[in-house]
Amino acid sequence: MIVDMVEPDDGTRAVDGRDGPVRFYERYIEAFNARDEPTFASCFHLPVSILRLPADGVDQTGATPIVVTEVAQLWPALPPTWTRSTIDELRVVAADEAYEPRAGFADRSPRRAVLQATVTRWAGDEPYEQVHVLYILSNEDGRLGIKSIVPLAVASAPAG
């Protein structure tokens, strides 16, 4: 389910703060599924920070995010049985209605685009994993790109 979606103008530039990021993420998943490396690479603004999920339910004291400086390092390790990923839900977190400046205050900068995505990974016709991720985007040279990835949760299908 994609929420707050409006048809984009060119698919990458935000018209009202929401539709650009939604179309951007759809293009990202399309490139990922097609293994289209040039388009996939264009979905990032290096360096990209990745905050790992806690180990055993506990954040490591002093753990720093991973900083990726080469696009080739961004492709996740997937099992050979992986065939595609599908978007289950996509939300624009930093939509205009999420923040209203105090009376008399004015925004000093444009809003940052942030997406919350839930994606299922498939092996043929069988889903095997679902991931819930926060993507922080930046707009550089008039183009949206992923600047930070924060995995929020991962669930796996029962073994068997």
Per-residue model confidence as pLDDT tens digits over 18-43: 468 999 999 999 999 999 999 999 99
The reported pLDDT for the residue numbered 89 is 97
Q: pLDDT tens across 67-110, in order?
A: 999 988 998 888 999 999 999 999 998 666 778 899 999 988 88
3-state SS track over 123-156: ECCEEEEEEEEEEEEEEECCEEEEEEEEEEEEEE
CATH fold of 19-55+64-99+107-156: Nuclear Transport Factor 2; Chain: A, (3.10.450)
Q: Check whether the bond before 54 is cis (ω within 30° of 0).
A: no
User: Quick one: pLDDT band at residue 58, thresholds 50, 70, 90?
Assistant: confident
How far is residue 143's CA from residue 64's CA, in Å, rounded to a whole number? 27
Amino acid code (one letter) for 70: E
pLDDT confidence bin for 13, thresholds 50/70/90 = very low
Examine the pLDDT at 1 and tell me if it is beyond 50: no
Instruction: Round to whole Å and give the CA distance between 92 and 95.
Output: 6
| Average confidence (pLDDT) over 11-20 | 49
Is residue 144 within 8 Å of 12, Cβ to Cβ? yes
Q: What is the mean pLDDT of residues 31-57?
A: 92
- Does the pLDDT of residue 12 top 50, yes or no? no
Higher pLDDT, 27 or 17: 27
d(CA 67, CA 142): 23
As to burial, measured by CB atoms within 10 angstroms (0-12 exposed, 13-18 middle, 19+ buried), residue 115 is buried
Q: What share of the chain is helix, strand, coil (3-state, %, to 5)?
A: 20, 40, 45
